[in-house]
Chain A
Amino acid sequence: MKRKHRRLMFVLFALVGLGAATALVLTALEENIVFFHSPTDVAEKDLPAGRTIRVGGLVVEQSIQKQADGVTVAFQITDMAHTLPIVYTGILPDLFREGQGIVAEGELRADGVFAAREVLAKHDETYMPPEVADALKKSGHWKETDGTGAEQ
């Protein structure tokens, strides 16, 4: 019985130690694990211009402007605190629209505009039939419980 107890203690201590070590490493690496930066990060953290980064946020209502060449789009994303202008040349994903969470990869230009090379659409964790979504919009309860992970 004694040896079993020793082994049990050893396994428990090893797991606790390993868990603590992992937590420390993940905390230290947090900057590298986040998939994208919010417009607030861009405004406050002084991210280097000219280096490839990803930014994410909600597409601002009525900010989408198609340029004359037909394939370049300018729009803004927001995290409700700051907004960031983005230009992108290429095909946008189907889910791209006003109010949608998106992630863009590219570079911050010196003039503060983010030049995107790739735009990905996020979707939130809410699933419902279209009729239910319409009914919610009609009754004015739309997006009350929305937790779009893009920007909280």
Chain B
Amino acid sequence: MANLHKFANPTLFLRLSRALLPWCVGIAVVTMAVGLYLGLFVAPPDYQQGESVRIMYVHVPAAWMALFVYTLMAVASAVSLIWRHLLADLVAKAAAPLGAGFTLIALATGSLWGKPMWGTWWVWDARLTSVLILFFLYLGHIALTHAFDDPGRGARAAAILALVGFVNVPIIKFSVDWWNTLHQPASVLKLGGPAIHPTMLWPLLLMAVAFTFYFIALLFLRVRGEIAARKLRALQLARAAR
């Protein structure tokens, strides 16, 4: 545990994140440019869906990130509740709007994809409904974080919500296996290997790398901003007390 404590130190985080930030931005820009070019221009159309399949290269990485960011938030919230690390609070707070954004992208692109393929913008099947609940969990987390004058109390309430809401993550992932849904089952992360042709899988994986590094870069920036805001608040309080 002693080693992990070192990384929870905000000063070390500031130093590390400053060094890593340009690399994350660089990787995100390059992989997104190449991934979008391959996905939109080079990858073949699908045998069933034709050109509409290209929505996948944005929809699927966004949906993966929606789940990944929430999982990260739940882990940070557990660390914050159990070990009371300030940095874990800040990570959860900084990640929530980013996760909400990814979820909204997944919902919107999914809707645009559903109309031409399924014949409907929206249905209340288990997958779509559980992802909508995930979006509301993100919004609730943001609201709860800001609902208290004392940021520490807001962070605790939001951490409890993030942990309780975590039960939704496995429900989203396995909804297509547990129940009849209109949404098809998993294509990439499934037993027996991906059911997706390599010419389409590679652009998809590149886009997933791009989304991940884009998220890490934004998270670094936002946590740095949160640390600065906390310092400012402490200074203002000290000045007011004088």
Known: A4-B83, A7-B81. A125 touches B117 (CB 8 A): no
* B120 and A8 within 8 A (CB): no
Which residue from B82, B167, B186 sits with its C-beta under 8 Å from A125? B186
Specify the main secondary structure of chain A where it touches its partner: mixed
State how many residues of chain B have any CB contact under 8 Å with chain A: 43
* A4 and B82 within 8 A (CB): yes
**Interfacial residues of chain B within 192-207, with CB under 8 A of chain A in the complex:** 192, 195-197, 199-200
Which residue from B78, B116, B124, B184 sits with its C-beta under 8 Å from A122? B184
* A119 and B185 within 8 A (CB): no
**Interfacial residues of chain B within 20-77, with CB under 8 A of chain A in the complex:** 44-49, 53, 56
Residue numbers in A under 8 Å from B187 (CB-CB): 125-127
Q: How far is the CB of B15 from chain A (nearest CB, A)?
A: 27
Taking Cβ atoms with an 8 Å cutoff, the residues of B that contact A are 44-49, 53, 56, 78, 81-83, 116-120, 123-126, 163-164, 166-167, 171, 176, 178-182, 184-187, 190, 192, 195-197, 199-200
Residue numbers in B under 8 Å from A121 (CB-CB): 117-119
Residue numbers in A under 8 Å from B82 (CB-CB): 4, 7-8, 11
* A33 and B48 within 8 A (CB): no
CA distance A119 to B164 in the complex (A): 37
**Chain A residue at minimum C-beta to C-beta distance from B49:** A123
Residue numbers in A under 8 Å from B192 (CB-CB): 145
Known: A18-B164, A147-B185, A149-B185. A129 touches B197 (CB 8 A): yes
